Amino acid sequence: MKHYEVEILDAKTKDKLCFLDKVEPNATIGEIKSMFHRSHPQFYPARQSIRLDPKGKSLKDEDVLQHLPVGTTATFYFRDLGAQISWVTVFLTEYAGPLVIYLMFYFRVPFIYAPKYDFTTSKHWVVHLACMCHSFHYVKRLLETLFVHRFSHGTMPLRNIFKNCTYYWGFAAWMAYYINHPLYTPPIYGEQQVKLALIIFLFCQIGNFSIHIALRNLRPPGSKTRKIPYPTKNPFTWIFLLVSCPNYTYELGSWLGFTLMTQCLPVAFFTMVGFIQMTVWAKGKHRSYLKEFRDYPTLRSPILPFVL
Amino acid sequence: MSRVFLTWAVTHSVIEVQSEDSVLLFVMAWTVTEIIRYSFYTFSLLNHLPYVIKWARYTFFIVLYPMGVTGELLTIYAALPYVQKTGLFSVTLPNKYNFSFDYYTFLILTMLSYIPLFPQLYFHMLRQRKKVLGHTQDYSKVE
């Protein structure tokens, strides 16, 4: 069996960083990253981007050396992706925050509202309902992070955790402040409005969960395969006929329900900002599906049926 | 963006502030800056940029920028007591949208934001100055 030689150059300076001889032809990029890590301990594999061309796309960990367009002396270019943090860590931190923060406002912990309100409870039943819904939503997200989602990437750049936590924790505090305020005004149309909002919220929570389960089942444990999602026996997944990312569609629906339930402008802002971000993600995902699969269903829109 | 804010949201909206000296300060700084800046853009587009305009654009800011910032901050500061007294642009609880906004606090936060922003912009301009005006000196050295 002929062995390969691998040299790794810095993508920007073109300096020779590492030379590996006697590399097996069936070695993967992942294994090469581990070897590079040994000579450069500060660059753990997750922060390495290895490519064939200094300005090209990153090669995947699963790519096999002998199947790449390289000679027996392969030249790769390295770029440092910066400090990395695992997706699971980021998700758990950014979701635990809103759960705890909202409850602090709900229980009117001191130094938030005037001292005479410390540890009092709201007299409006919609406030209690809102707390249950908000808490349920984030507990659901935490459990899904631990037991449901199958992540394509292990890590993301470290600075994302500060950006993401500021977003989630900041908005949670802003919404919770008003909903749990002693001067909170309940919805104009009273019980009818709250009941309708609750139905919308629960429907979309179940829908969102159904989509997460359906997506999980597309992917065997520990793998990173990508397949076209299709409707299953669960009616909540039938929306796949019209939409590429129904998890985002249902998420929007949940927050619209919560906005209606609380009739609170900051919640409306949060819903709108989230919708904008999810639309960006949905369009990207939709484009990837179209690029990767020739037979991708043409009726589907990224996030809103026929509209967006 | 900050121009519109200072002009409409502060100086126009708080009439008592309009007779302050600080307003004269930032209006003067902005006027001179903009005359130079837009001349710079115009000549650049005509591909005929006199060196003196380029030099002015990258040199006058050294004095004009701190002058303008001082005028802006003093004006906002002068507006504070009137905003607090009249509750200008502010929304209080309770209301049916369950939202509140305190313009007075917002103005204070705006003033504080100058602390990180001003040095960043100022040093960026200084670096640009070195890059843009610096190499012409090298050419004269070569000759």
Interface confidence (ipTM) of the complex: 0.76
Mean pLDDT of chain A: 92
Residues of chain B neighbouring A263 (CB-CB closer than 8 A):
96-98
Residues of chain B neighbouring A264 (CB-CB closer than 8 A):
97-99
Dig out the tokens for B107 from the structure: 């103005």
Instruction: Tell me the mean pLDDT in the region B32-42.
Output: 94
| DSSP state at residue A186 | -
Residues of chain A neighbouring B98 (CB-CB closer than 8 A):
178-179, 181, 184-185, 262-266
Angle, CA A107 vertex, CA A102 and CA A110 arms, to 5°: 100
CA A236/CA A257 separation, integer angstroms: 17
Phi, psi of A10 (to 5 degrees): -70, 130
Query: So what's the pLDDT on residue B135?
Result: 61
Nearest alpha-carbon partner for A263 in B96, B107, B28: B96
Nearest alpha-carbon partner for A178 in B101, B139, B32, B62: B101
Judge whether A65 and A23 are in contact, CB under 8 Å. yes
At B141, the amino acid letter reads K
Whether the predicted pLDDT of B142 surpasses 60: no
Q: Which residues make Cβ contacts (< 8 Å) with residue A53, sequence separation at least 6?
A: A77
Q: A300: phi > 0 → left, psi -120 to 50 → alpha, else beta; which?
A: beta
Judge whether A219 and A180 are in contact, CB under 8 Å. no
Judge whether A50 and A59 are in contact, CB under 8 Å. yes
Residue pointed to by tokens 């930032």:
B26
Query: So what's the pLDDT on residue B138?
Result: 52
pLDDT by residue for chain A (308 residues), tens only, comes to 678 888 899 988 988 988 888 888 888 888 999 999 998 999 999 999 999 988 888 888 888 888 888 888 888 999 999 999 999 999 999 999 999 999 999 999 999 999 999 999 999 999 999 999 999 999 999 999 999 998 877 889 999 999 999 999 999 999 999 999 999 999 999 999 999 999 999 999 999 999 999 999 988 877 777 889 999 999 999 999 999 999 999 999 999 999 999 999 999 999 999 999 999 999 999 999 999 898 999 899 999 999 98
Question: Catalytic annotation on B82?
Answer: no
Question: Catalytic annotation on B65?
Answer: yes
Query: So what's the pLDDT on residue B124?
Result: 93
B117-126 pLDDT, tens digit each:
999 999 999 9
A263 touches chain B (CB under 8 A): yes
B91-121 pLDDT, tens digit each:
999 999 999 999 999 999 999 999 999 999 9
Phi, psi of A9 (to 5 degrees): -110, 150
State the nearest Cα–Cα gap between B92 and chain A, in angstroms: 10
At A305, the amino acid letter reads P
Band of residue B143 on the pLDDT scale cut at 50, 70, 90: very low
Instruction: Tell me the mean pLDDT in the region B45-54.
Output: 92
CA B56/CA A22 separation, integer angstroms: 62
Judge whether B68 and B75 are in contact, CB under 8 Å. no
- The catalytic residue among B20, B58, B65, B139 is B65
Judge whether A89 and A151 are in contact, CB under 8 Å. no
